[in-house]
Chains A and B, each alone.
Chain A
Amino acid sequence: MPVLLEAENLARSFTLGRKGLFRPARQFNAVDGVSLSVNRGETLGIVGESGCGKSTLSRLLLGLLPPSQGSVMLDGAETTDVTPEEWRRLRQRMQLVFQDAAGSLDPRLTIRAQVEEPLRIHGLPLEMADTALDAVGLGGAMSARYPHEMSGGQLQRVIIARALVMKPEFLVLDEPVSALDVSIQAQIVNLLRDLQRELGLTYVFVSHDLGIVRHVSDRVAVMYLGRIVETAPKAEFYAKPLHPYSQLLLNSVPVPDPTRRKRARIVPGDPPNPADPPSGCRFHPRCPLATKLCREQAPELRDFGGRQAACHMIETARVAPKRAAVPTPDARQEEEVFA
């Protein structure tokens, strides 16, 4: 499959509130050197905990925030240094679906007017809104309503329709269902998958929910404190995550099956402050495998047969899985069965 979008060494720093006139403002890197590529027609799931920079990354990919460093290429064409005018044209090809649906809609406009807005901006025929509204199941009388008259699930449909109305190729979905109840969430997830199949869309699906990411993604990337620590095809990732953080993350997810209770195998400690990241490998203070090397030197993403991970200890852990504090997933399964 051809690559549609490619990000190289993306970084974005923010300035924290200045503490006093005479002190330099503190900088922190919300995203710190992220490279990734998305193939046409696939879904790349980006997983991470709060504060890992996944929302910043999604805005960087779409040029909604200018990067401090690095570049994004769409279809082989650079998007980072183009004029605002060209950017506006590019927006027709790539769109963002927000987590906060209610907040991203103008409260004064009807649903139809919201979905028509991109067409007005780009001078396209307004009838195209009908197709988009029908596609998300909000055609007819529903489209005359205002946002405050609709439920959370319906609002999410509205912003999907608005994102689709210009027939983009590429969507970034930033936690699109995390605010919804399970039964509504399933409706939206199914809708997104149907749309992808019918329209040949390419998705980047950002979420903290490993269950949903498993359901929607073809490939998975795991973020920790502004960096990607592992990328892998979905099946391989869920069968056997390579990075210790991925392993602990996956192991922390409560499985909806009371016969498979996990014993407490917990990521120790709190996530560190993103404004003051640890030296070397950023996961080392919480990592059971950490060594002196990990404390001193940040690991690069390395290739392990079609998947990549940023960890110094992967080979060591593989050689002696029993010795490691974190058992491999296979060994874990047996231990975990609740007697």
Chain B
Amino acid sequence: MTWLPVRLARAALTMWLVVTFVFVVLRLTGDPAAILLPDDIDAQTLAFYREKWGLADPLWQQYLKYWAGLLHGDFGISFRNDMDAFALVWERVPKTALLGGTALGIALFIGIPAGILAAIWKDSWIDRTIMTSAVFGFSMPNFFLGILLILAFSLRLRWLPSSGSGTWAHLVLPAITLGTGFAAQIARYSRSSMIEVLSRAYMRTASSKGTGPVRRVALHAIPNAAVPVVTVLGIQVGQLLGWAVVTETVFAWPGIGRLLTHSVALRDLAVVQCIMILLALTMVTSNMIVDILYGWLDPRVRVGAGTAQK
């Protein structure tokens, strides 16, 4: 288990880099007090906040204080509604988690079986159908798919609501919108990973033992094919969050993405930096999970070459 401390160290390093980056950018773009506070503020208030936030101190003290603040959950004040930025963001987290989780679930549930089926029946009509759908799926821009779904299911058929987040019915269209592209991506990765595995010599060994087709795929092929797919998933989680911003805007889904768009438009920097740091934390965590999964799936990572002869 030598890799775990290394991963933890790397995760800590990443977080440190991100936080420092945000700190430096904030200081570089001008007087933080002026940026963090609305434009029309008077000089007296500005001086008050500058004193309050310790901006007169030496830079390294500010840096330490900044860190201390972050560790206590103090990300500054949103000037837009004068609320604690962290509280504002935290309130939105469940909504985005629900949307992202559902979309990811849809993507895995459709993408992985589709990819495996396409690989097993490579070059057949099944493969062609699945892969053609996949090309259409990931070429479809998120916002456009959302709009088409609204046109069809909300405005024409009137089956589902087009915006808001009250009930489960509200979740259906956004989750499909966000999940489709990922299902397509995952289908493609699963397929190519599976095709690679199916051509390996150990699959022939499995056949020569007399394993049946189901056992061969389930016990021999899938565990091997899962390794690269999991790696890709780690990266995809970040992309998923990126596109969630667009999807939330299309469906007026009150999550972090929508908050981010608004805050960017209004230059509500305290909120933006809070979201950035939370996002980095999410990415680091999801990469850790992927690494753990990776080690669990692949003994070559788990059991290092320490005892190997060669």
Give complex CA distance A77, B304 in Å.
46
Number of cross-chain contacts by CB at 8 Å: 17
Chain A, 87-139, CB within 8 A of any chain B CB: none
A109 to B234 Cα, complex, angstroms: 41
> Is A270 among interface residues, defined by CB-CB distance under 8 A?
yes
Identify the stretch in B3-11, B80-88, B116-124 within 8 Å (CB) of chain A at 4 or more residues: B3-11
A273-B310 CB under 8 A given contacts A21-B9, A21-B10? yes
Whether B6 lies near A20 (C-beta < 8 A) is yes
A-B contact pairs, 14 of them (CB 8 A): A19-B2, A19-B304, A20-B2, A20-B3, A20-B5, A20-B6, A21-B6, A21-B10, A22-B6, A22-B9, A270-B309, A272-B309, A273-B308, A273-B309
Cα-based distance from A20 to B309 in the complex (angstroms): 20
Within 8 A of A (CB), among B1-35: 2-3, 5-6, 9-10
**Which chain A residues border B5 with CB–CB below 8 Å?**
20
Residues of chain A contacted by B309 (CB below 8 angstroms): 270, 272-273
Interface residues, chain A, CB within 8 Å of chain B?
A: 19-22, 270, 272-273
Which partner residue on chain A sits nearest B2 by CB separation? A20
CA distance A272 to B9 in the complex (A): 34
A205 to B2, CA, bound (A): 44
Which residue on chain A has the smallest CB distance to residue B308? A273
Q: How far is the CA of A273 from the CA of B304 in the complex (A)?
A: 15
- B residues near A21, Cβ cutoff 8 Å: 6, 9-10
CA–CA, A270 and B310, complex, Å:
9
CB distance from B124 to the nearest CB of A (A): 29
- The A interface, classified by DSSP as helix, strand, loop or mixed, is loop
Distance, CA A20 to CA B2, complexed state (A): 8
| Chain B contacts with A in 293-310, Cβ cutoff 8 A | 304, 308-310
Find chain A residues with CB under 8 A from B3 CB: 20
A19–B304 Cα gap in the complex (Å)? Answer: 9
What CA separation (Å) do A273 and B306 show in the bound complex?
11
Apart from A21-B10, A22-B9, A270-B309: 11 A-B pairs, beta carbons within 8 A? A19-B2, A19-B304, A20-B2, A20-B5, A20-B6, A21-B6, A21-B9, A22-B6, A273-B308, A273-B309, A273-B310
Q: How far is the CB of B149 from chain A (nearest CB, A)?
A: 47
* A50 CB to nearest chain B CB (Å): 10
A146 CB to closest chain B CB (Å) equals 27
Tell me how far the C-beta of B200 lies from the nearest C-beta in chain A, rounded to whole angstroms: 22
- Inter-chain CA distance A129–B309, complex, in Å, is 47
- In angstroms, Cα B3 to Cα A22, docked, is 11
Q: Which residue of B lies closest to A21 (CB)?
A: B6
Residues of B within 8 A of A20 (CB): 2-3, 5-6
Most chain B beta-carbon neighbours within 10 Å: one of A20, A272, A273: A20
User: Once the chains are docked, how many angstroms separate the CA of A20 from the CA of B306?
Assistant: 13
| Nearest neighbor of A269 in chain B, beta-carbon distance | B309
A22 to B310, CA, bound (A): 23
Q: What are the residues of chain A within 8 A of B310 when measuring CB–CB? A: 270, 273
B92 to chain A minimum Cβ distance, whole angstroms, is: 36
How many angstroms from the CA of A149 to the CA of B257 in the assembled complex? 56
- For B6, list chain A residues within 8 Å (CB): 20-22
In the docked arrangement, what's the CA distance between A20 and B301, Å?
12
**Alpha-carbon distance between A20 and B7 when the two chains are bound, in angstroms:** 9
Query: A20's closest neighbor in chain B, by CB?
Result: B6
Q: How far is the CA of A270 from the CA of B309 in the complex (A)?
A: 8
Q: How far is the CB of A273 from chain B (nearest CB, A)?
A: 6
A19: chain B residues within 8 A (beta carbon): 2, 304
CB distance from B11 to the nearest CB of A (A): 12
> Which chain A residue has the least Cβ–Cβ distance from B10?
A21
Task: Please give, as numbers and ranges, the residues of chain B lying within 8 Å of A273 by CB-CB distance.
Answer: 308-310
Bound CA span A81–B5, Å: 43
In chain B, positions 136-164 with a C-beta closer than 8 Å to chain A are none
B308: chain A residues within 8 A (beta carbon): 273
Residues of B within 8 A of A272 (CB): 309
- Tell me, rounded to whole Å, the shortest Cβ–Cβ distance linking A131 to chain B: 45
> Chain B residue with minimal CB distance to A17?
B305
How far does the alpha carbon of A272 sit from the alpha carbon of B308 in the complex, in Å?
A: 11
Tell me the complex Cα distance, A133–B304, Å. 50
Distance in angstroms between the alpha carbons of A101 and B308 in the assembled complex: 32
Complex formed: what's the CA distance from A21 to B7 in Å? 9
Residues of the A chain whose Cβ atoms lie less than 8 Å from the Cβ of B9: 21-22
CB distance from B73 to the nearest CB of A (A): 30
A22, B7: Cα distance in complex, Å: 12
**Min C-beta distance of A267 to chain B, whole Å:** 15
* A residues less than 8 Å from B2 (CB atoms): 19-20
Q: How far is the CB of A336 from chain B (nearest CB, A)?
A: 30
Closest 4 A-B residue pairs measured CB to CB? A20-B6, A21-B6, A270-B309, A20-B2
Bound Cα distance A20, B5 (Å): 9
Query: How far, in whole Å, are A20 and B10 apart by their CA atoms in the complex?
Result: 10
Q: Complex: how many Å from CA A21 to CA B2?
A: 11
Q: Specify which chain B residues have a CB less than 8 angstroms from the CB of A270 in the assembled complex.
A: 309-310
Interface members, chain B 268-310 (any A CB < 8 Å): 304, 308-310
Closest Cβ of chain A: how far from B7's Cβ, in Å?
Answer: 10
Q: Which residue on chain B has the smallest CB distance to residue A270?
A: B309
Docked CA distance A22–B6 (Å)? 8
Minimum distance in angstroms from A225 CB to a CB of chain B: 13
For residues 61 through 94 of chain B, which have their beta carbon under 8 Å from a beta carbon of chain A? none
Once bound together, how far apart are the Cα atoms of A272 and B310, in whole Å? 7
Chain A residues near B304: list those with CB within 8 A.
19
Closest to B304 in A: A19
Smallest CB gap from A16: residue in B:
B305
Chain A residue nearest to B310 (CB atoms) is: A273
Q: Which parts of B211-226 form the interface with A (CB within 8 Å)?
A: none
In the assembly, what is the distance between CA of A273 and CA of B310, in Å?
Answer: 5
